[in-house]
Amino acid sequence: MTDRYCVFGHPVEHSKSPLIHAEFAHQTGQSIEYSAIEAPLDGFVDAWRQFVADGGRGANVTLPFKQTAFEMCDTLSHRAKRAGAVNTLILGGNGRTYGDTTDGVGLVRDLAYHRLELAGKRILVLGAGGAVRGLLEPLLQKAPSEVVIANRTATKAQQLADDFADLGKVQGGGYEDIQGTFDLVINGTSASLAGDLPPLPEQLFNKGGWAYDMMYGSEPTVFLQWAGPRGAKLLDGLGMLVEQAAESFFLWRNVHPDTSMVRDTLRQSLNY
């Protein structure tokens, strides 16, 4: 019997998830069917329940439904509770919905794939929304020397830093409060989607430092275009997308797919 999975979003037609999970299934010999479902903005919970009624076993959740998914779940993983969001749903044998988030582990595994060591490094994270909240626990577990969160609204960054201060040295403030240089700067804002750039100091990267944008596209993002001439090595969020999908696949099927071939396939499809 073929098990059914999907990704919920609005919009969702651009999603690479069906391609990614089809590749994972082929590679691991798993019999699954994976589709993309555009749920109404006010109808995500009903869409999930209908999917389950039709035989669905699990789902990925993308914007704008991650918070709603978090609130809907019967049981939450520790990392989902810390993140305050869910991107992976699993239907339990008792019919209850279990929620997890794989975004943070996806980013950390992507950095590891590129042999980027985080221990002892100074990291700057731009933004203080839900995307950033999901990253902080996995980042801090890698024992960086410090994580600095910068946001247009300084109080949001400060609150986020306070929420995760038990896991390591982390501070928050406005963009104007950024001081010193960093080994890794992660753009967790949605500014790239609008072709916008946060106000950043010219001297931001340590020698050999990295710029990472959680967004990706057929061209380097505005943030990466800015960071390259300022001496940074560049990474976009395509690898994170693949790695978080691999973690979801493992949660559903209890098998870890190899991500390298899928990375190559997706990168070639973007033509840069």
- Which residues does the annotation place in the binding site for NADP(+)? 127-131, 151-156, 214, 237
Please indicate whether residue 66 is annotated as part of the active site.
yes
Residue ranges of the binding site for shikimate: 15-17, 62, 87, 103, 216, 244
Residue ranges of the binding site: 15-17, 62, 87, 103, 127-131, 151-156, 214, 216, 237, 244
CA distance 61 to 69: 7
Non-local (6+) Cβ contacts of 206 within 8 A are 122, 181, 182, 183
Distances (CA, A) of 59 to 70, 79, 171, 213: 13, 17, 34, 25
Q: For residues 107 and 82, is the Cβ–Cβ distance under 8 A?
A: no
Chain centroid to Cα 248, Å, comes to 12
Q: Which of 66, 81, 142, 233 is catalytic?
A: 66
CA distance 187 to 124: 9
Task: Identify any residues that bridge with 173 across adjacent strands, giving them in sequence order.
Answer: 150
Residues involved in catalysis = 66
